[in-house]
Structure 1
Amino acid sequence: MADRTRGTPVVTPEERRAELADGLAAVRARIAAACAAAGRDEREITLIAVTKTFPAADVRLLAGLGLTEVGENRDQEARPKAADCADLPLTWHFVGRLQTNKARAVAGYADVVHSVDRARLVRALSDAAGRAGRELRCLVQVSLDEDERREGRGGAAPEDVPGLADEIAGAPGLELGGVMAVAPLGADPLPAFARLAEVASGVRRNHPGASIVSAGMSGDLEQAIACGATHLRIGTALLGGRRAIVR
């Protein structure tokens, strides 16, 4: 039973599993409806659970529900969580902005890095992958908002994406996976995701295997699917808007 006497919800593992199962069912229903509307096959969609601020216990519960793609956006949280769950068959996605000096740490556990937006980071990840004896799949983060670029919030300008994709494809220890973007805040996501689809198509002309289009979060997954997204990064709609404390 939830204990709210101290103002912070406390749930049992059984209650939390039920919450996550309900969230997963709801998200999968949205994906199914969006795919039907777009004439797409649900099997084309990879659902990534973005578990930032949620405990490793939630990752384990999600894995038990069959969801094994996990996303994190901060190294200081992702690294211990990945270590805690090292016994599970998970694919770890680093989806946040990545500082160059964190490349070695992230290369130690991440399988896919969604936020590669500059040549210096390509070089750092390549060096880190070599040191770790691992291969990292990397996506070019595309900025679809000029204001976002001016404010330094991450992402390469669309015209710079082909060159950056070439650098990733040619870097030892790295594999070019495709592209990623976040829809601009407060704007209709459809035009942004349509632009991302164009950028992704351009990348595939030179790199046919770079098939990933990482786009769509809790509030705009339908629009992302309509524009060809293959990977969805879902947090709130799946895990809820608060951190659960499991006793």
Structure 2
Amino acid sequence: MAEPLLELSGVTSGYGQIQVLWGMDLAVREGEVVALVGSNGAGKSTLLRTISGQLAPREGTIRFNGRDIGGARPDAVLTAGIAHVPEGRRLFRGLTVRDNLLLGAYLRSDKDDIARDLAYVFELFPILAERQRQDATTLSGGEQQMCAVGRGIMSRPKLLMIDELSLGLSPRMVEHLSGALTQLNKGGQTILLVEQDVMTAFELSHRAYIVENGKVARAGASAELMADPTVSEAYLSI
């Protein structure tokens, strides 16, 4: 079997004296959608920050595309092919939708390909094309999330990591964004998704990891986890 695109082994991480991750093991294969689910404070966002270089792992290894990237700077991680769509979108006030999107491609120099990718983002999210001259921070919450995801796409990543896709959004907007991610994945995009709506996470993903107290408590095919009565009782309230 081919080596995973992303593989974490025994990763610990945290903030100052506070340790959040305790020996995390995780793998994402090329072409997959993998979900991280669990309660608030379980360590899911910390895991993404550690992968993307915002935090350095204290122990363990992070391998991406055959290379050790543990402790690499965020720009080096982005150059390697990992884009991180953070919780809260973090768009730049005073910049248009178009300029926020183009910031995702700031490490690229292939102007023709950048233009094609921008056209693809506008095709994926037509409302962004309509509002491309508008200050991105004046969009609705769902539209801002589209812009944040689009900005990640503009780096042309091998792995797109999205932290809390649906947080605070209407069911209709979640459905729209979920459809866009499915379309992206059908086009070959590998995705690592943190999602507080566990049902949405399972429906979107091929495999999932349940994170509790900074450790992997369960892992497996998303369909199997969704059908497991113990998982349903703990996370799906059904």
Q: TM-score, normalised by structure 1?
A: 0.38
Q: Which has the higher contact order (CA 8 A, sep 6+)?
A: 2
- Which structure is higher in strand share? 2
Q: TM-score, normalised by structure 2?
A: 0.39
